[in-house]
Amino acid sequence: MGGSYAGLVTARVLSDFFTQVVLVERDDVDEDTGVHPGAPQGYHAHAMLAKGGEILERLFPGLREELRAAGAPVFDYGEGIDFLLPVGLAPRKRTGVRIQTFTRDELERRLRRKVLALPQVTLMPSTRCTGLTRDASGRVSKVTCRPQDTEPVELAADLVVDASGRSSSLADWLGGMGVAVPPKRTVRAKVTYTSMNFDRPEEDHPAHPDYYIAYQMPFAPQVSRAGVLLAVERNRWTCSLFAHQDRPPTDDKGYLAFAESLNNPHLAEQIGRRTVQEPTHSYTNVENRWQPYHTIRNWPDRLIALGDAVCVFNPVYGQGLTVAAMEAELLQGMLARYRASARLDGLSGDFQKRMGRLLLAPWTLSTNSDLMWDPGRRPLAARFAHWYNRRLFRVAVKDPAVWARFVRVVNMVASPALLFHPAVALKVLSPTAADRSTSH
């Protein structure tokens, strides 16, 4: 259920284990569709962290080179990003972490073409899923679907995957089955994004800057306006401006003025040089939301939920695409083990529990930062993380080795524990890293 990014990556995994995989998508999509109405966030800047890029390349060999040929640059995170931290500019030094930047539109179109070309996969577009059926043993065995302008149909399935995103009805369906669903965990980010694509010089042109990303990082409570500029395919920039409890304008003059209010001048510089632009899009009501399905003891067998149907992150931290890829990789490994026993029973509940553990680190990173915007709701863990990060940033702007460790952690190729290693912690806790006033 769901044929956007998470559904496509999961369908690729399922095609290795099942003879038929049916993708049910509510929007009218085909192999040439990129962003579509059911994923309005797709118009905004998306980050594919290094971990996610590695997983996609394993699932779709050659994808990185295809995107590079279309103009999506590949570069070292430290060398290619002009990154303004709340205490100064990050070092422009090699980190060994390679990333690639592209639009969600381009990525999803290429993935959809690859997945729909698999002989095991069938697409049902313009079709809404309206309910689930359990068999006598309690397993989920059928999905009720309503194609546009036709009568409902029931699809029998050995395994049902909900990858339908933020609009998922699964919690209601589970309640109708008598499964008690715990309240969802919500942390409001109160952030609005306004984004546009516009022309970028050829890479070998003298006017092309020496970076592929320019970023100003938001940081409570001082830095409430921020933005990111990404070099993407077909010689374009994607720029997303964002603000806490504010709304970056959608008109051209206001958009540029907002960018000029940032301390990283590169976003306004490139916006001001544009000669061709695409429509501007705004996205608001951003929140972190986690349906804690991993805590349900009587989780129905043969049913799996993943992607935004389970956990939605504030996009500013760039985790969503990578976490969905990690979930698909987790499912792949578990299906391989269960296939050895020729049984699927027990897989679903086990998967949800393991997924809960996988989500804990990115959820903590995202929500600890967002909680600091609310003076009345700052738990001790969030306050400590904020305090430690500020000191860490003061060290990192002067110490490329510490910055490289931070880069590995935010790209999810290393554990957060790396930032508490004595080699880092002693520097972070030293008196020289103590708070000093800053204009950034």
**pLDDT tens for each residue of 12-62:** 999 999 999 999 999 998 888 878 777 767 778 888 999 999 999 999 999
Indicate whether 440 pLDDT > 70.
Answer: no
Q: What is the mean pLDDT of residues 67-72?
A: 96
Q: Could you tell me which residue, 338 or 39, shows the higher pLDDT?
A: 338
Strand order in the sheet with 191-199: 88-89, 81-85, 213-216, 225-232, 236-244, 191-199, 281-283
Residues 6+ away with beta carbon under 8 Å from 341: none
Kindly indicate the confidence band of residue 433, based on its pLDDT and cuts at 50, 70 and 90. Answer: confident
Indicate whether 158 pLDDT > 90.
Answer: yes
Fill in the amino acid letter for 11: A
Indicate whether 436 pLDDT > 70.
Answer: no
Question: For the chain, what's the residue count?
Answer: 440
**pLDDT tens for each residue of 347-373:** 999 999 999 999 999 999 888 888 888
Say if strands 160-162 and 303-305 run parallel, antiparallel, or are unpaired.
Answer: parallel
Q: What is the mean pLDDT of residues 120-130?
A: 95
**pLDDT tens for each residue of 200-217:** 999 989 999 999 999 999
Tell me the percentage of the chain whose pLDDT exceeds 70.
98
Average model confidence (pLDDT) across the chain: 92
Kindly indicate the confidence band of residue 255, based on its pLDDT and cuts at 50, 70 and 90. Answer: very high
Indicate whether 266 pLDDT > 80.
Answer: yes
Report the pLDDT value the prediction gives residue 189, as an integer from 0 to 100.
81
Max mean pLDDT among 215-224, 244-253, 334-343, 347-356 falls in 347-356
Contact criterion met (CB below 8 Å) for 246 and 192: yes
Residue written as tokens 């632009």? 277
Q: What is the mean pLDDT of residues 6-11?
A: 96
Q: For residue 17, count other CB atoms closer than 10 A to its CB.
A: 17
Kindly indicate the confidence band of residue 377, based on its pLDDT and cuts at 50, 70 and 90. Answer: confident
Report the pLDDT value the prediction gives residue 435, as an integer from 0 to 100.
60
Fill in the amino acid letter for 262: L
CA distance to 90, 93, 392, 403, 419, per residue, from 428 (Å)? 16, 20, 5, 12, 9
